[in-house]
Structure 1
Amino acid sequence: MPFLNRIQRWAEERPHDTAVVVAGRRLSWADLRQSAAALVPHTKSVTTLCEANSVEFAARFAAAVAGGRQCAVLDPAWPIQLQEDIRRRVEASAQPAAVSPDDELADGAPEAAFLVGLTSGTTSVPKAFTRSRRSWQESFEASIEFFGLHQDDVTLAPGPLAASLNLYALAECLYAGSEFQTLENFDVGDVHAAITHDHVTRLVLVPTMLRMLSERGLAGCVDASGVRTIICAGSKLDARTLEAARRWAPNATIFEYYGASELSFVSGAGLPARQLAVLGGTGIGRAFPGVKVRILDDSGQPLPEGEAGNICVRSAMVSNGYLWGDDGQALNSFDGWYTVGDQGYLAEGELHILGRRSDMILTSGKNVYPHEVELALAAVPGVSAAVAAGMPDDLRGQRVVAGVLPSHGALTATQLRAGLEDILPRDKRPLQYYLLSELPVTERGKVSRNLLLEWIGSRDRRVRALDA
């Protein structure tokens, strides 16, 4: 069961307690059950839910997965033509069980698919995969144990519910019987107000949001001492974000984890309150409860500790596979060990993430992953963010270059080289540094290493070579 039977339970046991709050609008457990149950008779076997954050979203999502129904959640920011294309594909590809207007608000068969997940995309059609109710129940049990979610927690996930991170947080809280909050749109002031007035104890968000909230919270003296848990996903936390979050929310355990939509949770680590982090490393903690991790080569053979290869997992949380978009590379299986192609290694039981193989830089016969260079640079004092890439080189094949965005004041190449002395091996250090006035990001807001190389090649005004 994902969470509908749990909603029934909480509505019976605690009907007037708060279940969901969106932008100040509140639904109790009894309200949520009543609203969702009233929608079930009018909900088709396959739903494509595409709307902004609201309390109605929570009720419609619950109704859309009742019984044998299946639901795909689309991003309302996607172009209309793309939304319509996905709707047609979902309706043509999904294979729901028989449904009836007389169905109750109850979970369907555990092994049956109930959710059509979509990879992010704005210009090309996203890949679509399915998840079973059982896989989400296993995920709930693992994440509740790992992150320590309690019924007295108030969780705020301030991003769009169309994003898998926030949709999962909503469903996880419904399963656990814990209050869930979000906003109509992300706004730093509104998040700070919720933390201050609604006694938020738990934040679920991406690193960029955490950084803004922490830095502006410190500047505005916003008290976050009541926050007990911060859960970050999307990328490993850089040094400046971690330091600001630790100062702003001194009593919070800060969690970061590695996972993928198709794999669910893989590994994670929690930095307890007031404990300092080891900066610049690629480690992302140990395997989640119920998950086994191996590093395998391209033929599926195990690699020794410390040697990089495909991060492969075996767990009950893995998705069923793709409805469409499977190119044979996105989700591979080696005799039941699944991988999405991310590269990494194990050291003393901890998983280290290096990134996608397609990003790898081959320089003088050595493999260098930009991700580990960027993490190391982000730990250097004075660096706000960094982007590393491989530039063609007649002698080496490629050479490592890096663009850095300063946090304050001036930076020199000498400072950067000295800062990397103890945290990055010599053969992985950049040979050339560039000062950035802004990060090279795509129209979709993602940092682009290729765009950095374009800026360097065209001598763009936003990038300037740093001398020693």
Structure 2
Amino acid sequence: MTGHPRPEDMFGAATVPEVLELAARGPRGITFIDGNLRETPLPYRLLAAAARRAATALAGLGVRRGDRVAMLSSTSPRLLICLFGAWRAGAVPVVLAPPHRLSEVAVIMADIRGRLDHVGARCLVVADVFGGFVAGRIGAGRPVVTCGDLVAGRADDPPPIETCPNELAFLQYTSGTTGPAKAVALTHRQLLTNVAVCCDRLLLDGEHSVHASWAPLYHDLGLVAVLSCVASGIRMVLQPPEAFLSAPDSWLDALSRFRATSTVTPNFAYGLAARSMRLRPRGLDLSALRVCGDGSEPTRKDAADEFTARGARYGLRPEALTPMYGLAEATLSVSMGSLTEPMRWDHVRRDGLRPGGAATPAPEAGPGTRTLAVCGTAVPGVDLSIRAEDGTPLTDRVVGEICVRGPSVMRGYWRDREATAAVMRDGWLRTGDLGYRTPAGLVLSGRLKDMIIIGGANLYPEDYEHVAAQVDGVGAACAAFALPETERMVVAVEAHGGADPGDLAERVMARLRTEVGHAPDQVVVVRGQTIPLTSSGKVQRGRCRDGYFHGRLPILARRAR
């Protein structure tokens, strides 16, 4: 195991309350922006002072050391104050995703109640706008308080609670892409160890760095971004995810206006940024960007190439776009590409990408070729291994399950020994992701549970979803899945922009037959915003499959192979 930066050495502290108090001595802080780039500053000194008041208010609600405090709010200054207030009170925050599709209120609230019971939350802190809505749906016996109520507290500061580095600091819910979401239990040391690695690899330093993010705080990417900025004392520009999604151009404009030196986002955002530069040429300046981290979902070459090419006209360095791999069970970061070379790609035969198969190099544009991003080498302190089902390590270019160990890897899922035992083996975390090693670094090929086997062929749903999404009239979400105990594959797409459902199904099927080779058994077109997504916007293929199988998907049109 390679050495890793220790939070004590890098920050002078190993608990979250301590790093905030140290940041409060400096001149910087967080600038919140909306879709129009209107600014709301929150200096670290004010964040620390307000967090102390929020801790007092939480103590008044009966919150004690080690209690879980659930939070339901989008990104805002008040949420951050409550979050750090919980840490200041010695509590364990659990940030939940706020409801997005109000058409599914009953399902959403049942899920929230289940998570509150699962973590044994002492209380629920909600955004002011959710106060009355949520309180009446949670049930008796658990206090519901708004962020505004906690922030408005004027009580004296409570005696400081001496938090220990190895105490539980956070419960991070997984995305739940392949099954029920589970709560990852992380200590202060685990959080800040990964934060130290991220600060080191993202080249964050207090005087010259500006990190921009729109990633939600209920996602590991957003949480670690905030903690990295606080711990390193740099300036942060933070945007609520809904502000970015409603005005995607605003993120690119923010990178330019605030001269951001780093950002990390899923690949689709770079595709939107490339589209923005193509359709709205304007006076951008991207010359300050040193790292544009690309992670959290498969990295697509077309989006990456266009972003790099169009960004070059505005001063973007070709090596800035950097692939990354991580997961909540490892706090976040596992591997990262080079910061001094452009992104690398591996072109391989699609038919070899199965467990135990060989990732054989192939012509870039050849039939049956799949192009995958090389996600670089393990970050300091992390060991990577590609293993067979029986745990045997595999050699380069042999596909297997990615296994990880290191100081920021979780101890286990919260109160779920069975799920923990299923993924932990002799200190190694079984990620459930498929991949292989190359001399240039790690390559991901898909999720083990999502792979579809039909007629002996190994099919990756990401390929089908990516191709289907390129068809005019297809909405934001697509899902490819196999039906239980059959060799039938279905691709579901959402209709968008008034497209005729029957014609859309026909065109999607034709595109898949031409570009992927193995056509699905059926393409179905559904209404917009009906394909189930995780809290971080990833497709829940299992839920979509169940909805199709049990007749719950609102299908507008079908096209059989």
TM range (shorter): 0.7 to 0.9
Aligned to 1:6: 19
Q: Is the 8 A contact 2:170 2:186 kept in 1?
A: yes
Query: 1:442 aligned to 2:531?
Result: yes
TM-score normalised by length of structure 1: 0.77
Query: 1:110 aligned to 2:165?
Result: yes
Alpha-carbon distance change, 69 to 339 in structure 1, aligned in 2, over 3 angstroms:
same
Aligned to 2:192: 137
What is the CA deviation profile of residues 178-232 of structure 1, one whole-angstrom value per residue up to 9, with x for unaligned ones? Answer: 1122224323243244234333332222222332233123311241523332122
Residues in 2 aligned to 1:309 and 1:363: alpha-carbon distance in whole angstroms = 19
Aligned to 1:179: 235
Query: 1:286 aligned to 2:348?
Result: no
- Partner of 1:49, secondary structure, is strand
Q: CA deviation at 1:269?
A: 1.7
Query: 1:18 aligned to 2:29?
Result: yes
What is the CA deviation profile of residues 433-463 of structure 1, one whole-angstrom value per residue up to 9, with x for unaligned ones? Answer: 99998999713254466769969x99x7767
Residues in 2 aligned to 1:70 and 1:391: alpha-carbon distance in whole angstroms = 40
Q: Is the 8 A contact 1:293 1:314 kept in 2?
A: yes
Query: 1:229 aligned to 2:282?
Result: no
- Partner of 1:358, secondary structure, is coil
Residues in 2 aligned to 1:306 and 1:189: alpha-carbon distance in whole angstroms = 39
Alpha-carbon distance change, 64 to 413 in structure 1, aligned in 2, over 3 angstroms:
closer
Residues in 1 aligned to 2:73 and 2:186: alpha-carbon distance in whole angstroms = 21
Equivalence map 1:27-426=2 (5 Å): 27-43=42-58, 44-45=63-64, 46=67, 47-66=69-88, 68-77=90-99, 79-91=108-120, 102-104=158-160, 108-120=163-175, 126-151=181-206, 152-184=208-240, 185-186=242-243, 187-222=247-282, 223-226=284-287, 227-250=289-312, 251-252=316-317, 253-264=320-331, 265-270=333-338, 280-281=371-372, 283-325=374-416, 327-328=418-419, 332-348=423-439, 350-365=441-456, 367-371=458-462, 398=487
Q: CA deviation at 1:238?
A: 0.9
Alpha-carbon distance change, 212 to 441 in structure 1, aligned in 2, over 3 angstroms:
farther
Alpha-carbon distance change, 135 to 465 in structure 1, aligned in 2, over 3 angstroms:
same
Q: CA deviation at 1:335?
A: 1.1
Alpha-carbon distance change, 129 to 247 in structure 1, aligned in 2, over 3 angstroms:
same
Q: What amino acid sits opposite 1:61 in the alignment?
A: L
Alpha-carbon distance change, 359 to 19 in structure 1, aligned in 2, over 3 angstroms:
closer
- Partner of 2:224, secondary structure, is helix
Q: Is the 8 A contact 1:126 1:325 kept in 2?
A: no
Alpha-carbon distance change, 287 to 31 in structure 1, aligned in 2, over 3 angstroms:
same
Residues in 2 aligned to 1:178 and 1:90: alpha-carbon distance in whole angstroms = 33
Aligned to 2:354: none
- Partner of 1:172, secondary structure, is helix
Alpha-carbon distance change, 239 to 434 in structure 1, aligned in 2, over 3 angstroms:
farther
What is the CA deviation profile of residues 239-274 of structure 1, one whole-angstrom value per residue up to 9, with x for unaligned ones? Answer: 221123213433251122222211232222247576
Q: Is the 8 A contact 1:49 1:71 kept in 2?
A: yes
More deviation in 127-136 or 433-442? 433-442
Alpha-carbon distance change, 448 to 113 in structure 1, aligned in 2, over 3 angstroms:
closer
Identity %: 21
Q: Is the 8 A contact 1:36 1:62 kept in 2?
A: yes
Q: Is the 8 A contact 1:129 1:262 kept in 2?
A: yes
Q: Is the 8 A contact 1:67 1:109 kept in 2?
A: no
What is the CA deviation profile of residues 64-94 of structure 1, one whole-angstrom value per residue up to 9, with x for unaligned ones? Answer: 1126321111112273443344233323699
Aligned residues: 442
